[in-house]
Amino acid sequence: MRISVLGVGYVGLILSVSLADFGFEVTGIDIDNKKIDKLKRGKSVLHEDGLNKLLEKHVNKNLTFTTSYESVTSSDIIFLCVGTPQNKNGEANLNFLFSAADKIKAYLDRKEYKVIVIKSTVPVGTNRKIKELFSDYNIDVVSNPEFLREGIALQDFFNPKRIVLGFESLKNKRPIILMEEVYNYFKEKDVPFIITKWETAELIKYASNAFLATKISYVNELSKLADKVGADIKIISHSMGLDPRIGNKFLNAGIGYGGSCFPKDVRALIRQFEDNRVEPTLIKATDKVNEEQIIWFFNKIKEYFNNNINQKTFAVLGLAFKPNTDDLRESRGIKLIDLLLKEGAIVKGFDYVEKARENAINIYKSDKSEASYGYNLYILDNIYETVKDVDGIVITTEYNFNKEDWEKIKKLIKNKVVFDGRNTLDAGKIKKLGFEYYGVGR
Ligand code: UGA
């Protein structure tokens, strides 16, 4: 089977290498010349565990990369994996998707049967609109949302919890059989297949992401009360999670969720409610709590310094939106750096991932950055250099910082205080060493 993958960003690249690993003939297409050049040489453009290895194994064998759309002509299946970023009003921007669909038209024979699969996260009704674009073509459109987590995307791809496939009609077996063939590896592993109609499949993705985001916002809201009354949110979360009806995942209080998915998808879902004149009370609150959480934590830091952090120096540990990624989109660490810089603080930023540090440097260099108020910012590649002579440490990404030498940090730091925005540290141990410790709700 020949497969084309249009858009080799995060989702498209993981999909391309994985389908190649299943043995299919895969062509990854992207308009970004630089990216394609690098991929052709078997070099990954993302920081993702195991990706380089799979690329090297398949590239220029059953996996090729190109900027030309021509390969769609001979493909049985065309996956659309382009980005659907957020518009100013919160809705998903579908320009890339429709432009990609439009471009491939020129390469298709109207009579030849093909399946177009939409993997991009798209609002309800999008699959139907894409089908309308191809109304005079022999094409079926399939909705196939993805549930990969950055940092462990390949592991997630090969161990999915479900395969969701949405079709125009369940009576038409042809696209169903073809998609089951693509994902036969998972059929054999007894992974649940959800075969449903377009609208349901489209909503499953938003429903899942917004639910996880709501779990986080719920525990974050609780953390503020725990903080006030002297309770420990970590113990509360742990205890709640022991009840299998609640589950122990995504209950870690912190400074809020970030990344390219949760913030954007929560807002896009709000828009879909509003467009359909249904009030999204709970989901709106999820977004609001998330935006407020970082401000609440920042105020906590400020209060410690009697509301004046001008010329105070902070070590901010964690730049990416979560560990083991270089992705800074909607990163709470970057938001916090912005807040600190705006009030005259000096920031020394650190992340274990080199590319995350490079990306942070680029954000602040860029003229387009909101943070154009002068850069009292230094990005360092050594954690001990970062904490040297600072007035406080702020933890913004949930790395295991316990493994660092806190005896050494104690000697290097000017003022022994830690603001743990991810509740990652062993608070007892840190306090014993003579640090003041402020977590989230504990
Ligand atoms: C998320 C979903 O988990 C994936 O299933 C989905 O496929 C993906 O979005 C997507 O739509 O493409 P991802 O954005 O990689 O994946 O990140 P997560 O691991 O879900 O973490 C998101 C944010 O939540 C991070 O900022 C993390 O720090 C925060 N988080 C997570 C918490 O604050 N507390 C928790 O308990 C868990």
**Ligand 1 atom nearest to CA at 330:** 26
- Burial bucket for residue 13 (CB in 10 Å: 0-12, 13-18, 19+): buried
Reading the block at residue 12, the tokens are 């498209």
pLDDT in tens, 384-404: 999 999 999 999 999 999 999
Q: How far apart are the first and last CA of the chain?
A: 55
Q: Between 283 and 369, whose confidence is greater?
A: 283
Do 143 and 118 contact (CB within 8 A), yes or no?
yes
Q: Does ligand 1 come within 6 angstroms of the Cβ of 148?
A: yes
Q: What is the CATH number of domain 210-438?
A: 3.40.50.720
Q: Probe ligand 1: pick from 46, 84, 146, 149, max atoms within 8 Å of CB?
A: 149
Q: Would you tell me how many other CB atoms lie within 10 Å of the CB of residue 65?
A: 24
Q: Is the pLDDT of residue 358 over 70?
A: yes
pLDDT in tens, 21-44: 999 999 999 999 999 999 999 998
- Is residue 403 within a helix (H) or strand (E), and if so which, with residue range? none
3 state SS for 131-179: HHHCCCCCEEEEECCCCCCCCCHHHHHHCCCCEEEEECCCCCHHHHHHH
Question: Quick one: pLDDT band at residue 367, thresholds 50, 70, 90?
Answer: low
2-191 and 210-438 in the same fold: yes
- Three-point CA angle 58, 59, 64, nearest 5°: 120
Q: Does ligand 1 come within 6 angstroms of the Cβ of 261?
A: yes
Distance in angstroms (rounded) separating the CA atoms of residues 147 and 162: 9
pLDDT in tens, 125-165: 999 999 999 999 999 999 999 999 988 999 999 999 999 99
Q: Verify whether residue 81 is a known catalytic residue.
A: no
Q: Is the pLDDT of residue 308 over 90?
A: yes
Q: Does ligand 1 come within 6 angstroms of the Cβ of 259?
A: yes
Q: Where are the beta strands (DSSP E) in 273-391?
A: 313-317, 346-350, 377-380
Q: Which of 404, 249, 260 is closest to 322 using CA atoms?
A: 260
- Report domain extents, the chain: 2-191, 210-438
pLDDT in tens, 244-281: 999 999 999 999 999 999 999 999 999 999 999 999 99
**37 Cβ partners below 8 Å, 6+ apart?**
none
CATH class in words for 2-191: alpha beta
Question: Quick one: pLDDT band at residue 341, thresholds 50, 70, 90?
Answer: very high
Q: Is the pLDDT of residue 186 over 60?
A: yes
Distance in angstroms (rounded) separating the CA atoms of residues 430 and 436: 8
Phi and psi angles of residue 396, each rounded to the nearest 5 degrees, phi first:
-120, -15
- Is residue 395 within a helix (H) or strand (E), and if so which, with residue range? strand 392-395
Do 10 and 152 contact (CB within 8 A), yes or no?
no
Q: Within its chain, how far is the Cα of 112 from the centroid?
A: 37
**Ligand 1 atom nearest to CA at 259:** 14
Q: Is the pLDDT of residue 204 over 70?
A: yes
**Ligand 1 atom nearest to CA at 220:** 33
Q: Does ligand 1 come within 6 angstroms of the Cβ of 92?
A: no
**Considering the chain, what is the average pLDDT of its residues?**
95
Do 86 and 123 contact (CB within 8 A), yes or no?
no
